[in-house]
Structure 1
Amino acid sequence: MKAITANRLRDGEVVFLGEGGRWVESFAEAALFPRAEADDVLAPAKEKAEREQFAVDIYTFEVVEQDGVPVPATMRERIRTAGPTVRLDLGKQSLGKQAA
């Protein structure tokens, strides 16, 4: 599976493409796509977000299942979903929005 992520332009926040094409801040709300379909979804989402000057650095990333819960496959994306690894009082993990 894959998810789509970006950085929101107005504040730099990491966002994820959710159901219905809306952008969400929580990875738990991100839409997951089969690998074969992810690029087909990415192209129009990227074009729209860039045209509307909503987000930049829009791309797909791998998602794996861990204990029955989808999580980003790489450490980079895990950090982007949760926040800094050196201070747990900062980032999304401090607000209870942790990825998984």
Structure 2
Amino acid sequence: MAAAQKRPPLPAILLANDLLDGDVVFAAAGAEGALAWTRDPAEALVAGDDAAAERLEDYAASQLGTNRVVDAYLVDVTVEAGEPVPRHYRERMKTLGPSNRPDLGKQAGDGVGTGRRA
């Protein structure tokens, strides 16, 4: 019998890697209540309860089957200034972009998000 995968503490967001370009993408609210992927971490849908987290996990499972994304998983976050910010260093770096070039990537406001997460 396989052990159930442990869910991170809530609130949480769903992140994955896009298979076409390798960029980190986040599950966000799409048209008519559907979910969609976005490259902007500020648009990530935040799951604050078990039902919302399960919805994100179900979306991840459906998307992995389409070969659109890989390595989809929930990440625990805090909400700062209305935007989700990952609690752990690894995921925070994924939301920002290259750590060796703060003038590039999402933290530089490279057309995505606000760029305030430096």
TM-score of the superposition, structure 1-length normalised? 0.85
Identity %: 35
Deviation at 1:42, TM superposition (A): 3.1
Alignment equivalent of 2:23, drawn from 9, 13, 36: 13
Is contact 1:78-1:99 (8 Å) kept?
no
Matched, 1:92 2:102: no
RMSD over aligned CA atoms reads 1.9
Contact 1:81/1:92, CA 8 A, preserved across alignment: yes
TM-score when scaled to structure 2?
Answer: 0.73
Task: Write the mapping of 1:1-100 to structure 2, written as runs, cut at 5 A.
Answer: 1-19=11-29, 20-66=34-80, 69-94=83-108, 95=110, 97=112, 98=115, 100=117
Larger fraction in helix: 1
Aligned residues: 100
8 Å Cα contact 2:41/2:84 also seen in 1 = no
Q: Assess if the C-alpha contact under 8 Å between 1:63 and 1:72 holds in 2.
A: yes
